[in-house]
Chain A
């Protein structure tokens, strides 16, 4: 690429000719203020916050949307620019509730930070305010259009990354609102509850449905036996909420923190993950031997599952019937564990600690309830909600001693830990399936071919005398690509891992808002979180799900054979096509 010489605030910069002014400024360590811009999404140029002055150009240019040219002289901080930028932010604020102290994102809001950094110290413009009711029909995602500043990041992530196209700008001018088609309630839309709109939103126009009050209430209820179980991806990200560096594993502290919060028992969703692998590998080997319903599509990600029901209902027979690790563990808690401990399942309150917003929807699925309609999972706390509860209680997380999970549903193999990152379910399944197919232990447990998929990765794995074609997709636009290839029938895939969120669960819709220096959908932060999981896996004695001694015991005592009647009844589920039908 050709380089051009330009000047930014009198500093000479040599920059590739295809770069924008904003990127050129970053090269010399100047971060031009911004709002609608997002490095992983298309350029919008809507908010005008990133304007700069360019010599010889008689208007201010949006630095995110304009490329550099040779000899260009840019001013990022002239008095005129500073004034204009502040005016722009003031005008945005004029149509914003300004309820910072009672807002979920107080202290963690890009608009708030921007107003502060631009020196907005008083309310200058007092105009008409848009009025919209809070839309809370969804089990997972709450839409609050009054706080929306029309940056369209949610619209872009929903279409460009996830391929859902659920959100669009409707109406025009002052009446513009971001909503599903026809302003339908989220619950009646094609929303798959991934929560990426929540993550990219600079304000609080999208939030997860809070379960914190329900959990506080259960913890205070002496009649309830309140148990938590924590998803693999939690241990790689929870520490970020307490200023620990991204990628700091903090499973022991998390267990202690949950006990201090008052949970009567703390289990590991990982145990459910090991169980998922035993069941899913069994299902896979069966299908492989019979040559039926291939490729097998994994079923852990509730966002992907709802996506399939709206967009690819014809693929339902290919999906694994395994419940997700969360639902497997919750089911066991209200069946096996309740029986063993002599408890009424209705007295057990199960809380899933999840990186995921869609898990809140999954918990409400009627298929995942006791026959009287009591859900197996009573509440789902996102990583963010969990961090908030720990802070609200006043627990000094960083200095907590490490705790241990309760057993038998708290012991897990390393295969379960890597569930939290893209390729992890695949690798865990391959470890078990390979040993099952060949009857011999693997010499190398690391299937690095399926790791770190940047969206989509394919590989062919030699197992015994079989070539197994595998694919890993994260982000649902990539799911579309691989499913369309499956439907075209050019290649026989045998097993495909699908995760709704980019990077897998570590990039989930319920994960912490990124710490300074990182951004949402940042591949770097997801790499660090993934490394945390791989390091935990490496350190474990048992690294294959089927060799987890407590899993073996559970089959002996309660479940019978993998894929057998009892196991099927307890651990498997069904899917149904959903309306409205998604547009592929």
Chain B
């Protein structure tokens, strides 16, 4: 990607400038990072470096904050974003094993994206459909009572769709 593609949008720059006029400008770092992630789907290194320069907050601090909070993604979402519910009910019903199966099958960890950018993996807390536990969300689609065994099938189905 060329450098231009990484420039922050004008309105985000505007927001940063407003923050800098506040009493404790550094305290707006998280708010700024949220804006960036909402816009681009994740926190790109170049974007974080630009935030650091514009806010005059050390780049290592920005990097520290971005890696500390689980909500911040450091890789772009995949075309198919898989979210595994790790709420109490799902967990009791074996969501941890389902998660392990996804990890093994995709070769990525939570918060990561496959090299072909097809799949990304995340966890969520209770989605409010505990009767269907364990629940997996792939983009908008809900899969219920998922077992670890079903995971390869599930992924194959998505990949087949992809070929059509």
List residues of chain A with CB under 8 Å of any chain B CB.
159, 165-172, 180-183, 190, 580-581, 583-584
Contact = CB atoms under 8 A, between A and B. Distances in A.
Contact of B63 (A168, A190, A581, A584): A168
Contact of B59 (A159, A169, A583, A584): A583
Nearest to B60: A168
Nearest to A169: B64
B28 to A, nearest CB: 16
Contacts of A159: 58
Given A168-B63, A583-B58, 10 more contacts: A168-B60, A168-B61, A169-B64, A170-B67, A180-B60, A181-B48, A181-B58, A181-B62, A583-B57, A583-B59
B52 interface: yes
B67 A171 contact: yes
Contacts of B59: 165, 181-182, 190, 580, 583
A172 B67 contact: yes
A555 B57 CA distance: 49
Interface of B: 45, 48-49, 52-53, 56-64, 67-68
A206 to B, nearest CB: 15
A472 B130 CA distance: 68
A167 B57 CA distance: 13
Contacts of A580: 49, 59
A181 B43 CA distance: 13
A403 to B, nearest CB: 46
Given A165-B58, A583-B58, A170 B52 contact: no
B106 to A, nearest CB: 20
Given A182-B45, A182-B48, A584 B64 contact: no
Contacts of A165: 58-61
Contact of A167 (B49, B52, B53, B60): B60
Q: Which 9 A-B pairs give the minimum distances between C-beta atoms?
A: A165-B58, A168-B60, A181-B59, A181-B63, A168-B64, A181-B60, A170-B67, A171-B67, A583-B58
A182 B52 CA distance: 12
Contacts of A167: 60
B96 to A, nearest CB: 17
A583 B63 CA distance: 14
B53 A581 contact: yes
Contacts of B57: 583
Nearest to A584: B56
Contacts of B48: 181-182
A170 B53 contact: no
A165 B60 CA distance: 7
Q: Max chain B CB contacts within 10 Å: which of A181, A182, A584?
A: A181
